[in-house]
Amino acid sequence: MTYDYVNDAKLAGLPAALRQRMQDKAEASTSLPYTVKTKCRSFGQKVLGPFNTLKEAQVAFNAHRDDSDEGASTFHDGKIMQGGKQVLYFSYNGRIWNLDGSLHSN
């Protein structure tokens, strides 16, 4: 059971969509493992994982990118999935980003 952001009276002043995103993020963070969805010209679409940590996922993503011998124009960002939902993503350089485009702090 996760904290109920959606129905918390203290958060009632926040927009419902924001409270729902907070709830979704909290629920996603408790359901391991991570998987990474990738797409490139060489290998097509592929799912990597499962991984117990973001570091493991990052190492696998970087190795997969390097094995493809492709550049950023044909090797797409890696979608980091948890519980069937995208929670973060990898850019071509292997950095981890939040869905709002801000750099993820591990």
Tell me: the pLDDT tens digits for 18-57? Answer: 877 777 666 655 556 899 999 989 888 999 988 989 999 9
**Residue of 24, 31, 41 whose CA lies nearest to 76:** 41
| Threshold 0.85, pTM exceeds | no
Give the contacts of 79 (CB within 8 A, at least 6 positions apart).
Answer: 36, 37, 38, 86, 89
pLDDT-derived band at 1, boundaries 50, 70, 90: very low
Distance between CA atoms of residues 30 and 45, nearest Å: 26
